Every structure is written in C-alpha cells, then in structure tokens.
Amino acid sequence: MLLPLIVLAQALSSAQLQQGSAPSAAIAVHNGRANQLAITTPRFEAEVEIDGRLVEAPWQRAAMLTGFSQYQPIDGVAAADSTEVLVWYSPTAIHFGIRAFERHGAVNATLADRDRITNDDHIQIFLGTFNDGRQATVIGVNPLGVQMDGTMLESNQRGRTGSFGTEAAREGADLSPDFVFQSKGRVTEYGYEVEVRVPFKSLRYQASRTQTWGINVTRRVQHLGAEDSWAPARRANVSFLQQGGSLVGLTDLRRGLVLDLNPVVTQRTAGAPLETGQWHYDRERPEVGGNVRWGITNDLVLNATVNPDFSQVESDAGQLNFDPRSAVYFPERRPFFLEGIEQYATPNNLVYTRRIVQPEVATKLTGRWAGTNFAFLGAVDDRAGANSMFPTEVVHGASPVFGILRTTRDFGRRGRLGFTVTDRERGELYNRVASLDGRAVFKQVYSTSFQLAGSATRRPFGAEDTTTGGPLWTASLARTGRTFGFQYNVRGIDPEFRTQSGFISRGNIVNASATHRFAKLGARGALFESVSFDPRLDWTWKYRHFMHSGDAIEKKVHLNVNSQLRGGWTAGAGLLLETFGYDADVYRGYRVVRAPGDTIPFTGTPRLFNRDWLLSFATPSFKTFNANVFVLYGQDENFEEWSSGDIFWLTLNAGFRPTEKARIDLSYNQTTVDRSSDGTQVYNSIIPRAKLEYQITRAIFVRLVGEYNSYRRDALRDDTRTNGALLIGDERQYGLREDSFRGDFLFSFQPNPGTVVFAGYGSSYAGFESGDPRIPPSRAREMDRTNDAVFVKLSYLFRM
C-alpha cells in the first residue's frame, strides 16, 4: 500500500505545481511558465548517496524547478507531462534530483554507452558557469542514469538551413568532452527518477566569491517526438541559452586542488602478408605515455601529454567522394584533442586537429582573463605521420611544429569578436593563417557574422621553395523566426589561400546563397504539427571570375518541403534544379584517345543541366527501433566523364534495441550513376555497415563492427563527343572492380573518463579486378586478407 500512496502524493504535488499552487513551505518552487527563473539555491554541508532515490534530508529542502513548456515541435504550450528538478549544492559539488512523470506512454531507457542516449528519454541540464548566455556545460542522463555530457558554445546561427532544407530547432551540444560526475536512475511506476552529483572539480567557472550561473533544463519525450524546456524558451529567438534562468547567490565553492594524472600504456601487434605469401606479425614494444590536467585557477586549465595514445578503437565509416572537387571531412576522435575542443571552434574550420597526425608531445592552455576567452594548442608532430599527410614535403630531420591560438571576447549582450592564429612549421617550410571573426544579434531574431582571414605559405615548388598567400572572407545575415526566417551567406576563398592546420573542403571559389523558410505550425496532436517550405538559391563562381564579373560556374535552385507529424514522425521532399559549368582545372590532366598513339585534349561539355527529386523519412525513436531513409534520383552530373548522368542515391539507417543491453546499428549507402546517352552504368558504390554492441554493465561493453565496400566503375570515355577512351596523365582509365571488408572487435571497460581497459582486434580484406591487360586477371570478390592488428590500452585516472 505504501508505494501507491507515495506515487499518488507525488502526482498530486506535480498537478498542484502545474496549476501554480505552492507545496510545503520547506521547498522553494520555481515555476518556469510563471517566469520564476531566478533561483536562490540552498547550500547544505552534507553529502548524499547517489543511488537514484531522493530520500535524504537535503532533497526535502532543495529548490524545485517545475512548470515546463514544450519547445519543439510547437513552442509556447504547456508540457504534456510534468517534470520536477530539485537542486542544491554542497561545498564541493552541485546536486540535481529529477522526477519525470509519464502518463501517456512507455519510458525509453537502455543501458547504453556514454553519450549514446539520444534515442532514450533523457534530461539535459545546461549550466552557464560564466553567466554570459553564450556557453554552457551540458550534463545529460537517461532514466537509468547513463551519462551524456558536452559543451554548448552558441554561434547565434540557429536559423541556418542546409542544401536539403533541414533545420535544427536549437544548436546542439558538442558531446566530445567527457566530465567526471556521478549519476544513478531508475524507472518507476509514475515515470523515472534520477540523482546527479557534479563535482566543482569538473567545471570551469568564475573567480568571484559569490556567483550567478545560468541554468536551463530540457526533457526529451521520445514517444511524443517533443522536447520540453523549464524556462519558457521561444524558437523565434537566435539564442536558446539566453532565455534560461539563473542560479543566484552561489558562495564558497570549494574546488580544491584540480590535478588529474592519467598514465597510459598501449601495445599493438600488427600483421601483414610477406611476398612469399606467409603471414608475418610485428609485435611492437609497449608504449608508455601520459596526460596531465591542472586547474591552475577556477577558469584556467593546463593540459599536457607526452607520447599520447591515439589508438583508434573504431574505424571511420566509409564515404564515397561523389564530387572530386571537394575533400572529405572526418571528425576528431582522439581523447586529448576532444577535451576543450569547443574553445578552438572557428568559422570555416580553420582549426582541424586531425592535421596533427601523431604528436610526440602536445600541450593546451585554456581559460578566461579580463573578460577574454583564450585557448592555445602546441604540438610537435611525428615525422613519419607528417610525411603521409604532406608527401610533397622533402625535409630531412625536421618534425612539424604546430602553434594554434584562439581568443574571443564578448561585447554587448550577444556580440562576440574572435581572433585566430595558426602556425605550422617544418624546417624552412611554413603555413601561417591569421583570422578575425565576429557576430552580433539584434531584435532577438536577427544575427549577422563575418570572418576575414589571410594565409602565408612557404612550400616546395620544383627545385626551389616559393611563398604564396591569399585571403578568405565570409559574411552572413539571418533571421530566426517562428514561421518565417532567412539566411544569406557569401564566402570567398582565394586560390592561393592555404591552411595546413585547418580544413577547407573546396577552395578557389566564391559562393553566395539565399535561403528562406516559411512555416505553418499546427495544434499539438494534429497530424501535421509543423510544415515548412524552404526555397534556396545557391550560386558559385571561380574566384577570379567573380572578381572580374564573370559568369557563375554553378547555379542551383532547391525547393524543399519538410514536415513533422504527430508522434515524432518526419518527412520531406524536394526538387533540385541545377546547372554546372565545365571546370578546366579539375580535368587539366585528361586527354582523349583518338587512335592508337594519338590523343587530343579533353574539353568537356560547356554546361550540364540537372533535375533531381529527393525524399526523406524518419521514424520516432521507439523503445526498440528507429530508422531514417534518404533517396535522391534524377538527372545529375557524371563527374567521372563530365557528362549528364542518371543518379540514384540511397541512404538507410536503422537502430534496433531488442533488450535493455543490446544495440544493433545498421546503415546502407548506395550511389549509382548511369550515362544519360545510352543508359550504361558509369559506376556503382555500395557501403553496408553493421555495429553490434552489448552493454554488460554501465562500465563494460563489447562491440563488433563490420563494413563492406563495393565499388564498380566502367572504362571511362569521352561520352559527350567522340566516345574515345579517357587518359588521366598517361594512364588509360580501364574498368575496375574493388571489394573490401573491414571488421573490428572491441572490449571496453570504462568506469569513468580516463580509466579504461581496451582490448581490440581489427582485420581488413580486399580484392581488385581491372580491365587493364597489363594486370594479371583476378576476381574482386575473392578478397585476400591485407592486414590485421591486436591492440591493448590501459589507463587510470588519478584525481588529486
């Protein structure tokens, strides 16, 4: 009898709070819908057991946050279910207790790996420890207390839409950083209950004795496809963080000595076939390294690493480079670079830490001084790794040295200026980039931003070195409205602009785009809760042509419709009308075979015209399943031969959670291009990938990943004129077939960030078949094992 009475009392208390009535006088209630957003947080000289049960004395006198509003898909209405968040702090930590009431559907909760709770119901707590409304530490938990954490640094560009009309309701958190905090949760008869303790050692905050922190709390309800917010945030506002509340009167926060020592030992044994066909294993000596994190002050942190471990526990997912003019971006995965990575965020990706291949030693200093945020990264890279990334550099005995500095300073309520300098030096060669960027917000829904950058590069050029340089510039204006928004962008990259510390997907262009968004919002529970029409104009010039009023090389008109349906279903459709001009720089080395021993230059059709249709569809995150599909088909450019082609592009993703501990993620990517002239196939790429994980406990899981990559390409020809065979350089482009498979296994024990035991095995297989008569015949599907490796990593976090 006792449990039903407790549940009934809690439900009645929640109902009273939603109606604005007060509970017992011992609890200070802050109703978000009543704009009671300033919280005088109680301080107790006490510690509690983190067990997911809010029964100790401090919880009975904690401040309570309630009265949540829905933020998406429809803002400004009361949340369908009530949520209570209790908050108090001790001298060494801040505590949160969560009661989430659920009357309408089942609670989604799995024993997931860290940061992988986005398909579960979950809570996110935004702590603005510098109270500037621009940045926050994000602490997330699912109903079982599984953790998600990261940082949010708003760029004030929330209204940005992509080529296919997609738009985020608010800027998402960067989940790369990992913080040490404690959490425990449980599913109850009325919903779920979670207890969270965040040590002050894990946070950076102001140096003043009495502080005010920004705060907001969101709740994701998967069966509704909705996100609720404690502060009544509106979507017609550039900033989400500045619409939050505040924790006032925080005093005497005892952070103590912040010194983390993290020794790391790794060992790798790699196998490869010898010319004799025998398999040979090279057992490398164990590598010993370590990381140090020292909190010099509350807001100044020094990180250093010697011989860091960058063993990759999972291979990058395969990607097809559909457009040869654009480089492929891979995200950073390495722990040392992930910590504090948001401090180095700069427009146009001028800081891309994967350029540092295998550092021998590196250090980072991040902090805040006199109102200015700064972040410095220095590293000495390994020579062999640098040679693999920049093979044209012939510098004997020189290791690349990186220096990266990023500073930002706020002005006004929402403005910000940033300054970035990157320097990579190797012997007498160097690449240096300096950049100034800024943004401002006015009337809450309008934002503008700019960036000006210049580079100077000394690089090999024939028998001598040469020094070149050029500018990069960009500007944007956006409106983030509830039913109407727009974004105008322009960006130019000089052909001589270079960055060896950043990432530029495509240079030597000027791009201008204009996107508008017209939205219709329905009532909550309607079949269509929101529908938007997103027309987009996108023009691209070669840089010199733009400067001399030349014609654009690309002209695009994209018409997209996107909708969110009742229960979290989403669907979209679009029509893409495009024209592409011939780019002689891309096909500079191409020639056409006219007769044996006789070739002529490849000129290409002056302009190609495209018409593509696209469809997208996504399910809600059900308790055991979620999926999405993207299809594009129509007439598109055949980049391989520069002619018109018929394209079919399919992307499928599905997630299965058959039990609380098991997860299966499947993906399938296919791109097929046929010649419009005769229907023959130019190429076909298929990449299926499967990831299976079993979470034995919150700290232990096993993972198995398999990826198959199949690529077929016909012999290339001059499809638009002579049908003669194509040469690139002196090599005739015969037909080819490539098959490869990569499998990875990982055992992981990670009770907290920094303390890990990894044991893994990976193996690769490949097969190749070519129409080149000089190559011995083979079958691509008869794949041979090309390499494998076993690795072990041991590390332990000593927190002083």
In whole angstroms, give the CA distance from residue 73 to residue 527: 12
Residue 18, pLDDT score: 37
**Do 98 and 244 reside in the same domain of the chain?**
yes
Query: CA angle at residue 696 from 741 to 148, to 5 degrees?
Result: 85
Last residue of a domain, one of 187, 222, 251: 251
**Do 226 and 352 reside in the same domain of the chain?**
no
In whole angstroms, give the CA distance from residue 574 to residue 630: 11
More confident residue, 748 or 339: 748
The pair phi, psi for residue 71, each rounded to 5°, is: -105, -40
pLDDT mean over 636-661 = 95
pLDDT mean over 53-61 = 95
**Do 243 and 333 reside in the same domain of the chain?**
no
Give the burial class of 337: count Cβ atoms within 10 A of its Cβ; 0-12 exposed, 13-18 middle, 19 or more buried: buried
Residue 56, pLDDT score: 94
Strand duo 700-713 + 681-695: pairing:
antiparallel
Query: What share of the chain has pLDDT > 90, as a percent?
Result: 66
At residue 594, does pLDDT exceed 70?
A: yes
Residues of the domain holding 217: 2-251
Which SS3 state, helix, strand or coil, does residue 605 take?
coil
pLDDT mean over 117-142 = 94
Q: Per-residue b/e over 397-432, b at no fewer than 16 CB within 10 Å?
A: eebbbbebbbbbbbeeebbbebbbbbbbbbbebbbb
Entry pTM: 0.86
Residue 10, pLDDT score: 43
In whole angstroms, give the CA distance from residue 734 to residue 592: 13
At residue 15, does pLDDT exceed 50?
A: no
Residue 471, pLDDT score: 97
Query: What share of the chain has pLDDT > 70, as a percent?
Result: 91
More confident residue, 421 or 5: 421
pLDDT mean over 667-686 = 95
Number of structural domains the chain divides into: 2
At residue 312, does pLDDT exceed 60?
A: no
Joined together, the tokens standing for residue 599 give 């070739």
pLDDT mean over 409-434 = 91
Q: Are 289 and 362 in contact, with CB atoms under 8 Å apart? A: no
470 in a domain, yes or no? yes
Residue 21, pLDDT score: 34
Joined together, the tokens standing for residue 266 give 């790794």
**CATH number for position 50:** 2.60.40.1190
| Residue whose entry in the numeric block shows the structure tokens 């990261």 | 150
CA dihedral 670, 676, 679, 680 (to 10 degrees): -70
Least confident of 76-85, 127-136, 460-469, 527-536: 460-469
Last residue of a domain, one of 235, 251, 267: 251
Give the burial class of 266: count Cβ atoms within 10 A of its Cβ; 0-12 exposed, 13-18 middle, 19 or more buried: buried
**Do 365 and 496 reside in the same domain of the chain?**
yes
Contacts of 177 (CB under 8 A, 6+ apart): 149, 150, 151, 338, 339, 340, 341, 342
559 in a domain, yes or no? no
At residue 333, does pLDDT exceed 80?
A: no
Residue 578, pLDDT score: 96
Q: Where are the alpha helices (DSSP H) in 308-412?
A: 335-338, 383-389
At residue 275, does pLDDT exceed 60?
A: yes
Residue 7, pLDDT score: 39
**Do 352 and 219 reside in the same domain of the chain?**
no
At residue 391, does pLDDT exceed 80?
A: no
pLDDT mean over 775-783 = 78
26 in a domain, yes or no? yes
Give the DSSP per-residue string, 455-522: EEEEEEETTEEEEEEEEEEEEEEEE--SSEEEEEEEEEE-TT---SSS--SS-SEEEEEEEEEEEEE-
pLDDT mean over 647-661 = 96
pLDDT band at 68 (very low <50, low <70, confident <90, very high): very high
Which of 83, 34, 53 is closest to 220 using CA atoms? 83
Per residue in 377-386, pLDDT tens? 999 988 766 6
Per residue in 336-349, pLDDT tens? 887 778 888 888 99
Least confident of 292-296, 311-315, 725-729: 311-315
pLDDT band at 800 (very low <50, low <70, confident <90, very high): confident
At residue 165, does pLDDT exceed 50?
A: no
End-to-end CA distance of the chain: 47
> How far is the CA of 294 from the CAs of 54, 302, 309, in angstroms?
33, 5, 19
**Do 71 and 179 reside in the same domain of the chain?**
yes
Last residue of a domain, one of 461, 476, 507: 507
In whole angstroms, give the CA distance from residue 559 to residue 573: 9
Residue 206, pLDDT score: 87
**Do 57 and 167 reside in the same domain of the chain?**
yes
Q: Are 266 and 273 in contact, with CB atoms under 8 Å apart? A: no
Q: Are 264 and 309 in contact, with CB atoms under 8 Å apart? A: yes
594 in a domain, yes or no? no
**Do 62 and 195 reside in the same domain of the chain?**
yes
Residue 765, pLDDT score: 94
pLDDT mean over 600-613 = 93
**Do 181 and 49 reside in the same domain of the chain?**
yes
Joined together, the tokens standing for residue 374 give 């700064």
**Do 491 and 378 reside in the same domain of the chain?**
yes
557 in a domain, yes or no? no
Residue 342, pLDDT score: 81
797 in a domain, yes or no? no
Residue 321, pLDDT score: 63
Per residue in 19-44, pLDDT tens? 333 333 357 999 999 999 999 999 99
Residue 513, pLDDT score: 97
352 in a domain, yes or no? yes
174 in a domain, yes or no? yes
pLDDT band at 562 (very low <50, low <70, confident <90, very high): very high
pLDDT mean over 66-73 = 94
Contacts of 334 (CB under 8 A, 6+ apart): 308, 310, 353
**Do 457 and 345 reside in the same domain of the chain?**
yes
**Do 336 and 477 reside in the same domain of the chain?**
yes
pLDDT band at 627 (very low <50, low <70, confident <90, very high): very high
